[in-house]
Amino acid sequence: FWPFAATGQPSNMLRLMAFKDTKTLRYSVLTVSVYYSVIYFCLVIVFCCGRVLISGMEVDPDRTMPDLASRLATNAGAPWLAGLLVAAPFAAVMSSVDSLLLMMSSSVVRDVYQGHIHPDASERRIRFLSYVVTVIAGVFTVLAVLNPPEYLQDVIVFATAGLAACFLVPMVLSLYWRDMTSGGVIAGMLAGALTHLALTSWGYAVDGKFRAYEFLGLSPFIWDLAGSAIAAIAVSKMQKPDEHLVSRFFYR
């Protein structure tokens, strides 16, 4: 699930577009593989040790990291160190949140409003709408936190799978299938998102938990991708691709 889901994240796609050439991309694949192998191996070891050293963590696993930091700092005779250890991941969270808010504001105002609704909008109006969208998104996020799910991991899985359901299949087909059309991209995104929301709602109705329903015993992620692929291919077959784009990217 995770390797495929991470491939479909919009933030990762934007980073891939920043490479200056294919050679840099190939080197990055190697360095990033080594980096993540080291980072995630250490994370797994640390939290597995935390479950053994601190009893009761299975009841509230989200507290494993701060409790481990507090115990480590206390045993080292420097309780103030716990604040630094806990502040580091929270700083990363704050950085990610403000980046996502800016990306959301830019997408709504620049791509939707200025791109399709009012192309001649002034910079003053664009700036004002950006503030409005950012505030609305921030307030909605705060309200959602007031009634959080049982586990933070449920939110991460829902968001990661949902983004991958929207973008993974349209991205892959756009890169490797010359008959893909813009209508197929939109259809694939909508079908993936609706399938994901439907299975999540179904799972909540059946089990009362914030988890997608495993229809026929299969991972919900498979159904998300299947729905997205069927819609994207079906709509693309009913349309004619842009010959200019096809000749530009597939016959070089």
Q: pLDDT digit string (tens) for 174-228? A: 888 888 888 888 999 999 999 988 888 888 888 777 778 788 888 888 888 899 9
pLDDT of amino acid 1: 58
Q: Helices 152-176 and 182-207: crossing angle, nearest 10°?
A: 160
Q: Is the pLDDT of residue 252 over 60?
A: no
Q: What is the CA radius of gyration of the chain?
A: 22
Q: Which of 209, 207, 193 is nearest to 10 (CA)?
A: 193
Other beta carbons less than 10 A from residue 231's beta carbon: 22
Query: Average per-residue pLDDT in the chain?
Result: 81
How many CB atoms within 10 Å of residue 89? 12
Angle between helices 182-207 and 220-237 (to 10 degrees): 150
Which residue is listed with tokens 């829902």? 158
- For 139-170, the pLDDT digits (tens) are 888 887 777 666 677 777 888 888 888 888 89
Pick 38 or 56 by higher pLDDT: 38
The two structure tokens encoding residue 169: 């299949």
Count CB-CB contacts under 10 A for residue 8: 25
Residue pair 241/178 in contact by the 8 Å Cβ criterion: yes
| The pLDDT value given to residue 230 | 93
d(C-alpha 164, C-alpha 228), whole Å: 10
Instruction: State pLDDT tens for residues 219-242.
Output: 888 888 899 999 999 998 888 877
Q: Return the structure tokens found at 69.
A: 């930091």
How many whole angstroms separate alpha carbon 119 and alpha carbon 186? Answer: 21
pTM over cut 0.75: no
Q: What are the respective helix, strand and coil percentages of the chain, to the nearest 5?
A: 80, 0, 20
